[in-house]
Amino acid sequence: MSIVLDARGIGMSFRNGDELTEVLKGVDVTLQSGELAALLGASGSGKSTLLSIIGLLLRPTTGSITIAGQRVDALSETDRARFRNQRLGFIFQFHHLLPDFTATENVAFPAAAPAGRMTSAMRQRARDLLDRVGLADRMDFPATRLSGGQKQRVAIARALMNNPALILADEPTGSLDRLAADKVLDLMKEVNRDDKATFLICTHDESIAARCARRIMVKDGRAEQVRTQQQLELRG
Amino acid sequence: MMFALTVARRYLLSNPAQTALLIAGVALGVTAFVFITALIEGLAIRLTADVTANSSHVSLEQEVRVARVLPGPAVNVQSVALVSTFQRRQIRAWGPTVALLRSQPLVSAISPQISGNAFLVKGEAVAPLAVTAIEPSALDAISPITTKLIGGDADLGADGLLIGAQLADNLGLSPGQPVLFRTDRGVDRLLTVRGIFRTGLLNLDERVAFLSIRTARPLFRLPEGMTNIEVKLHDPGQARAFAAFLRDATGLRVTSWQERNTTLEGALFAQAQTGTLIQIFSLISVLIGIASALSLSANRRRGEIGIMGAFGVSRRFIAAVFVLQGLLIGMVGAGIGCLTGFALCSWLATLTKADGSMILPIAASQGRYLTVFALTTLGAVLASVIPARSAARLDPLEAIQQ
Ligand SMILES: Nc1ncnc2c1ncn2[C@@H]1O[C@H](COP(=O)(O)OP(=O)(O)O)[C@@H](O)[C@H]1O
Ligand SMILES: [Mg+2]
């Protein structure tokens, strides 16, 4: 097992006028390849902030980040964008599918845009991924004609398109009902198990977190491991 | 770039009604541009044609000869003056000049003339005349007279005279009648009114008379020379340059029709300026339309643009999507605008008044279609740069969180 994510001493302060809010006060997170981890914490504890920093969408005040063996915290804006495109996958609370494109085109988009064209190989991979997330019969549907759960599954397929080293999900089930939420998590666990894809899932939903093998709690600006019942028992 | 074009097209087709409206706005502006350009060009062509059809394009006459008194130690500077030598102004060697003119392919007609002043005397009544003496064969060379005759004929013969309708009225003259002709050289002769013309211009119909050069020579005491040579060109637009050439070649005073009609020139210039202003405004309104429509679109698609950014789609790609939308709108709108502009102008050109003349002197072929197409397309691209930049600069995280 290799280390996919090694974030060390992540600190983040926001300035609101004269007031400086320290949201993260030196967070360390390490993920092994093939792990599926939940990032837990109360609303406003800094989960999204941490996830955005790891996802290279936000620059931390302090700390270093290594993803798939590459130091990424000092990369230029262009290089960060390229790294996101090639090595990271994102799933957000709101799917943000492109409404003028079909499910297949949405999934293939992260590959097509940098290449400058959508090849038939990209389409084929997008179709395979849609098949994988159970949308074989919706491949050519416009994104707008899918249900909320279906859209989120398209978003998962899209996150997988470029075969990322790490998939970051921010409240992926936050806008879904219980049933759809469970299905989306099932899907992520399945992909994690079958493809050895590494997931970091941010959630404030305990029942979702309870089903993740590893749980990290963000609290008072720091992250700590939450030992699951299973792990505690193993340690005896 | 190909894929950015696909995305741009998809964005435009996503709201067909809105895109159609935007394109219609661009097309309307371009149509206005084409219309105003064709109208102003048409007006200029008509005014120029009106002026050049009935007058010579280049006139040659003898320079006024002046003797200069040079200042020197013995001469007070105050007394330096231009002094006419009081010689008769005539072109003595007009033969070689006419030969030179004949050899020029630009020239369409040449009329050597004797111009002078005279009076027509009938009983107590005396009427001043501006006399033009010409070769009878060249009567219509500069301005068609034969077609304007309302009485008699154009056969000048040895003692014939053509006068205007107003003058004939004033003196109670009709074709075939003799009348006393007195020149400013003090020579009297009885001439016969052969024909009466009506140009519709009062000062011509009241003042102008034509006779043959042979008749005029003794009357104006000019046994061999000509006072002026009038020239028509195939293309009146060449008159200025051709006049300059003739000036050098002959040493005569050469005047182009433009120099004789500076007020027309000024009017045409002012008109062209007005046209340019309208053209600029119609283009600017087109560009503002495109810029604001694309800005709205970029704003509405913040979330999508944010997710593209999160997935590492380059800023250049996002900017290209918007610039290409501007390009497509500009090209399609300008294309449609050129077509409708041409159709509109062609249709307007067919509308005529009762007398067969155009209601609007529009020149449909002068719409500067290529210029407006290029300007609109280029302008559309420039107008889309602002929304393209703001879209490309969106912070993905901010855009997604909203
Ligand atoms: N761009 C920002 N500017 C100022 N404060 C921010 C910004 N982003 C987040 N915060 C603050 O940081 C804290 C953590 O936010 P967030 O990471 O979104 O929490 P969570 O995702 O755990 O609910 C909150 O108090 C929030 O107000
Ligand atoms: Mg959050």
List of domains in chain A: 35-59+77-235 (3.40.50.300)
Amino acid at the residue B140:
D
Confidence of residue A236 (pLDDT cuts 50, 70, 90): very low
pTM above 0.80, yes or no: no
Using a 6 Å cutoff on CB, does residue A46 contact ligand 1?
yes
Compute the 3-state secondary structure of chain B and give helix, strand, coil in percent, each to the nearest 5.
55, 20, 25
DSSP state of B69: -
Range(s) of the domain holding residue B107: 87-251
What's the pLDDT score for residue B320?
Answer: 95
Note whether B211 and B160 are within 8 A (CB). yes
- Across the A:B interface, residue pairs with CB atoms under 8 Å apart total 73
What's the pLDDT score for residue B127?
Answer: 92
> Is residue B227 domain-shared with residue B105, that is, in the same domain?
yes
In 3D, which of B117, B313, B16 has the Cα closest to residue A113?
A: B313
Using a 6 Å cutoff on CB, does residue A221 contact ligand 1?
no
What is the best residue among A14, A51, A57, A201 to mutate for testing ligand 1's pocket, by most ligand atoms within 8 Å of CB? A14
> Is residue B244 domain-shared with residue B270, that is, in the same domain?
no
Look at residue B114 and give its three-state secondary structure: strand
Q: Looking at the CA of A13, which ligand is closest?
A: 1
Q: CA angle A32-A33-A38, nearest 5°?
A: 65
Residue nearest to atom 14 of ligand 1 (CA): A46
DSSP chain A: --EEEEEEEEEEEEEETTEEEEEEEEEEEEEETT-EEEEE--TTSSHHHHHHHHTTSS--SEEEEEETTEE-TT--HHHHHHHHHHHEEEE-SS----TTSBHHHHHHHHHHHHHTS--HHHHHHHHHHHHHTT-GGGTTSBGGGS-HHHHHHHHHHHHHTT--SEEEEESTTTTS-HHHHHHHHHHHHHHHHHH---EEEE---HHHHTTSSEEEEEETTEEEEE--HHHHHHH-
> Is residue B344 domain-shared with residue B238, that is, in the same domain?
no
Token digits for B271? 């008109």
Confidence of residue B189 (pLDDT cuts 50, 70, 90): very high
Dump pLDDT digits (tens) for A119-168: 999 999 999 999 988 888 988 999 889 988 899 889 999 999 998 989 99
What's the pLDDT score for residue A230?
Answer: 55
Q: Is B317 on the interface with A (CB under 8 A)?
A: yes
Whether the pLDDT of residue B186 is over 50: the answer is: yes
Domain tally, chain B: 2
Ligand 1 centre to CA of A44 (Å) is 6
Using a 6 Å cutoff on CB, does residue A49 contact ligand 1?
yes
> Is residue B394 domain-shared with residue B271, that is, in the same domain?
yes
Contacts of B402 in chain A (CB under 8 A): none
Q: What distance in Å separates the CA atoms of residue B153 and residue B149, rounded to the nearest whole number? A: 7
Whether residue B131 lies inside any domain: the answer is: yes
Whether residue B77 lies inside any domain: the answer is: no
Using CB atoms, pick whichever of A99, A101, A110 lies closest to residue B311. A110
Whether residue B65 lies inside any domain: the answer is: no
Q: Is B75 on the interface with A (CB under 8 A)?
A: no
Q: What distance in Å separates the CA atoms of residue B393 and residue B402, rounded to the nearest whole number? A: 16
Residue nearest to atom 3 of ligand 1 (CA): A14
What's the pLDDT score for residue B344?
Answer: 93
Tell which B residues from 31 to 60 touch A, by Cβ distance under 8 Å: none
Residue nearest to atom 10 of ligand 1 (CA): A14
Residue nearest to atom 27 of ligand 1 (CA): A44
Note whether A201 and A36 are within 8 A (CB). yes
Whether residue B346 lies inside any domain: the answer is: yes
Whether the pLDDT of residue B230 is over 90: the answer is: yes
Sequence length of chain A is: 236
Q: Looking at the CA of A42, which ligand is closest?
A: 1
Q: What distance in Å separates the CA atoms of residue A184 and residue A92, rounded to the nearest whole number? A: 12
**Residue B12 vs residues A97, B169, B287, B327, B335: alpha-carbon distances, Å:** 17, 73, 17, 11, 17
Q: Which of B210, B226, B251 is the last residue of a domain?
A: B251
Please report the ipTM that was assigned to this predicted complex: 0.90
Using a 6 Å cutoff on CB, does residue A93 contact ligand 1?
no
User: Which residues have C-beta within 8 Å of that of residue B365, sequence separation ≥ 6?
Assistant: B38
Contacts of A99 in chain B (CB under 8 A): 14, 304
**Residue A63 vs residues A54, A221, A224, B151, B239: alpha-carbon distances, Å:** 11, 13, 17, 108, 81
> Is residue B246 domain-shared with residue B269, that is, in the same domain?
no
What's the pLDDT score for residue A100?
Answer: 92
User: What residues pack around ion ligand 2 (CB closer than 5 A)?
Assistant: A 48
Confidence of residue B199 (pLDDT cuts 50, 70, 90): confident
> Is residue B94 domain-shared with residue B45, that is, in the same domain?
no
Percentage of chain B with pLDDT > 70? 94
> Is residue B304 domain-shared with residue B388, that is, in the same domain?
yes
Better-scored residue on pLDDT, B49 or B161: B161
Dump pLDDT digits (tens) for A154-181: 999 999 999 898 999 998 888 878 888 8
Phi, psi of B193 (to 5 degrees): -70, 120
Q: What distance in Å separates the CA atoms of residue A178 and residue A207, rounded to the nearest whole number? A: 10
Rounded to the nearest angstrom, the minimum Cα separation between A159 and chain B is 8
Sequence length of chain B is: 402
Per the prediction, chain B carries an average pLDDT of 88
> Is residue B234 domain-shared with residue B130, that is, in the same domain?
yes
